[in-house]
Structure 1
Amino acid sequence: MGKKQKPEELEVGSGLVLVDKPAGLTSHDVVGRIRKLAGTRKVGHAGTLDPMATGVLVVGINRATRLLTHIVGVDKTYTATVRLGQSTSTDDAEGEVLQSRFANAVTPAAIMAEVAELTGAIQQVPATVSAIKVDGQRAHARVRAGEEVALKSRSVTVHHFEVFDVRRIDGGKLVDVDIEVRVSSGTYVRALARDLGEALGVGGHLTALRRTAVGSYSIDQTLTLDQLGEDFGYIGLAEAAEQLFPKRQLTLQEVENLGYGRRITASGTGVDPQLTAAFAPDGKLVALLADVPAKKGASASPDAAHAADSGSTDYQAKPELVFLITTGGGSADSGARASGGQASGSGAPAAGTSTRGPEAEGTQAGGTAG
């Protein structure tokens, strides 16, 4: 996990805390706990887990909150239990049972057939009690105010959908199905449970949900809140960026140009959403770069500008987020976006505050999950 210190001895740095969220707490509750442990207000998370859910919650502290928006969109992996035979108001066990139907006739073969239909690129209507905004207000708030909310379907991808066990309970009237899914950003595992039940004609909802991975971060890397209270462990900013993005080693001249927001020669990724983490010779994280089409007249280093003017290159590396700026006396940490955006303030740009959201990521820069 990198650097570990007692909270009372902690010199607050910037990094990612991988928390094993317990059931019963909202993701916002966890952010509040981390603020107290780290002694900083600059804390956010990369995707909400519902109170019922447990597992991997990626929390950023200080300047690392600016990485969270780039973590929100990664795939998530979950284990879950789907109960067939009951539909609920929230599509999980925390909601009111709206309808019960006998699931006696449901067979494992039928379950597997419908699981196959729910695998791959699909259209999904998000769970109604969710963090999605409808005319500027969260859907869950409108539902709890007594409004009828109809959400539009959207494209999501279920990369992996595996059934581990099928168990009959309550004399066979209900069927519990243990599953594992790996899904794209914006996917609701609760909605998968609902849709599986409806496809089988008996209804369904989640009774358990655990997030086991967020991108490359897995459950075995996490610490509980109790463990963090004893020994506050986090992944440092540079290490976190190196784990999340391809790495580029810079020259001192490139560091200076990026510090002033200038484009430099391309990293070689082409026009691609994948960013590159750029490091100074001393190992400090300087910026996140994106290869963009070369543009004559754009603020750029001399070699990048000459290549663009001569037409000898198609791309330049543009600093999307700068962490280190050059000063008269050398370099210093930056809080500003090279593209002209504002520095992240207290709190986090990726901090979701809703108590419910998409199990596999949300609709804001701090998404939701669980």
Structure 2
Amino acid sequence: MLPLVSGILLLDKPVGLSSNAALGRAKHALGMRKAGHTGTLDPLASGLLVLCFGEATKVAGYLLDGDKTYRAEVRLGVTTETDDAEGAVVESRPVPVLDEEAVERALAGFRGAIEQVPPMYSALKRDGERLYQLARRGETVERPARAVTVHDLVLLSRKDDRIELRVRCSKGTYIRSLARDLGEQLGCGAHLSALRRTHSEPFDIADAVDLEALLAMDSADARARLKPPDQALLQLPAIELDPDQAARVLNGQRLAGLATAAEGLVRLYAPQGFIGIGQSDGRGALQPKRLFRVALD
């Protein structure tokens, strides 16, 4: 029987599979039950899906706020019910002659802090019901615009009615809405025809394992692909604790008299390794926040 293992798996999800289905297959490959993902990808999309297993599920919430990077293909001239290629066509319009300068002018309006209306086919709730459930019944409701940030928006290529973009954005950004709104800005309508996530802060697709390759591994080899949980938290300062301090922290006790750390969340390490997350008051006091099951002997 394999020992209990915790860690983060970087999975390259294929097109056509939901995030939950991909998670289920990864759980089977690793032979582990406790798992979760840190932000879904639609079945239409491929690319980086960050999965947390075992004790690493405790860091999942700290990954949700990270920026994401995508390669997006936008098809001009066709709008759909879902704002992507999975929905029925609502309208087709001729695509005007657009040079690169015209496209760049349109893109400029979507860079930085913007207001974005979520698509009807989304998991957001209205009066306790998912918007996509309303949409499937043919209902359309007002959706308040939400503030998001598009840090980078780069035109990679343009051919016929297709535009390829690289997008780095904040959490909560809908690339489908971006494609829809860009099409309206260009006067012809558009939808998202393909999407691939290449980065989910702090992780990159270059370090991900293909799902098919993962399923071909035995459980030990699959578990060897797990990254330590603290790799999700390298943006936080680290505090090294001695054995007595570590034991007290793992019992939920507050520490005082530590070397001063900046106020905020910190990574905690015993001599044996990472043991959890604490809250520093900036004056030498530390309160445990999120602890991991570890053996200190």
**Same fold by TM-score greater than 0.5:** yes
Task: Report the Cα offset of residue 322 of structure 1.
Answer: 1.1
Q: 1:93 aligns with which of 81, 85, 96?
A: 85
Q: 2:213 aligns with which of 224, 227, 234?
A: 227
**C-alpha contact (below 8 Å) 2:202/2:232 kept by paired residues:** no
Mapped to 1, the partners of 2:290 and 2:263 lie a distance apart of 18
Q: 2:75 aligns with which of 76, 79, 83?
A: 83
Task: Report the Cα offset of residue 263 of structure 1.
Answer: 2.9
CA RMSD of aligned residues (A): 2.1
In structure 2, the partner of 1:319 is 288
In structure 2, the partner of 1:276 is 266
CA distance 1:242–1:200, change in 2 (3 Å): closer
Task: Report the Cα offset of residue 244 of structure 1.
Answer: 5.6
**C-alpha contact (below 8 Å) 2:15/2:46 kept by paired residues:** yes
In structure 2, the partner of 1:250 is 241
In structure 1, the partner of 2:195 is 209
The code of the aligned residue for 2:276 comes to A
Task: Report the Cα offset of residue 194 of structure 1.
Answer: 0.7
The code of the aligned residue for 1:270 comes to E
C-alpha deviations, 1:103-148, integer Å up to 9, x for none? 1233322211121110001111112211112222211112112222
Matches within 5 A, 1:143-158: 143-158=135-150
In structure 1, the partner of 2:278 is 289
C-alpha deviations, 1:58-90, integer Å up to 9, x for none? 011111111111111100000011111111111
- Tell me, what secondary structure is at the counterpart of 2:155? strand
Task: Report the Cα offset of residue 228 of structure 1.
Answer: 1.2
Deviation >3 Å, runs of 4+: 9-12, 236-239, 241-246
Mapped to 2, the partners of 1:123 and 1:291 lie a distance apart of 35
C-alpha deviations, 1:224-282, integer Å up to 9, x for none? 122112141433435535646432211223212312223334762324xxx32111012
In structure 2, the partner of 1:50 is 42
The code of the aligned residue for 1:288 comes to I
Mapped to 1, the partners of 2:194 and 2:229 lie a distance apart of 35
In structure 2, the partner of 1:124 is 116
User: Aligned residues, how many?
Assistant: 290
Task: Report the Cα offset of residue 290 of structure 1.
Answer: 2.5
Mapped to 1, the partners of 2:60 and 2:32 lie a distance apart of 17
Structure 2, gaps ≥5 residues long: none
Task: Report the Cα offset of residue 331 of structure 1.
Answer: 4.4
Task: Report the Cα offset of residue 191 of structure 1.
Answer: 0.8
In structure 1, the partner of 2:168 is 182
Moved more, 225-234 or 121-130: 225-234
Moved more, 21-30 or 102-111: 102-111
**C-alpha contact (below 8 Å) 1:12/1:38 kept by paired residues:** no
**C-alpha contact (below 8 Å) 1:46/1:57 kept by paired residues:** yes
Mapped to 2, the partners of 1:246 and 1:26 lie a distance apart of 35
- Tell me, what secondary structure is at the counterpart of 2:188? coil
1:29 and 2:18 equivalent? Answer: no
Mapped to 2, the partners of 1:292 and 1:239 lie a distance apart of 21
Moved more, 205-214 or 233-242: 233-242
- Tell me, what secondary structure is at the counterpart of 1:82? strand
Mapped to 2, the partners of 1:292 and 1:151 lie a distance apart of 40
Moved more, 230-239 or 113-122: 230-239
Mapped to 2, the partners of 1:162 and 1:15 lie a distance apart of 34
Task: Report the Cα offset of residue 12 of structure 1.
Answer: 4.1
The one of the two structures with greater contact order (alpha-carbon pairs below 8 A, sep at least 6) is 1
Q: Identity of paired residues, percent?
A: 38
Moved more, 75-84 or 103-112: 103-112
Mapped to 2, the partners of 1:86 and 1:119 lie a distance apart of 23
Mapped to 1, the partners of 2:178 and 2:292 lie a distance apart of 39
Mapped to 2, the partners of 1:236 and 1:54 lie a distance apart of 21
In structure 2, the partner of 1:259 is 250
1:113 and 2:102 equivalent? Answer: no
In structure 2, the partner of 1:138 is 130
Mapped to 2, the partners of 1:204 and 1:36 lie a distance apart of 39
What TM-score, normalized to structure 2?
0.90
**C-alpha contact (below 8 Å) 1:12/1:39 kept by paired residues:** no
Moved more, 138-147 or 41-50: 138-147
- Tell me, what secondary structure is at the counterpart of 2:71? strand
Q: 2:65 aligns with which of 63, 73, 79?
A: 73
- Tell me, what secondary structure is at the counterpart of 1:264? coil
Mapped to 1, the partners of 2:34 and 2:48 lie a distance apart of 20
Mapped to 2, the partners of 1:94 and 1:12 lie a distance apart of 40
Mapped to 2, the partners of 1:177 and 1:63 lie a distance apart of 42
**C-alpha contact (below 8 Å) 2:262/2:281 kept by paired residues:** no
Mapped to 1, the partners of 2:83 and 2:232 lie a distance apart of 36
The code of the aligned residue for 2:20 comes to H
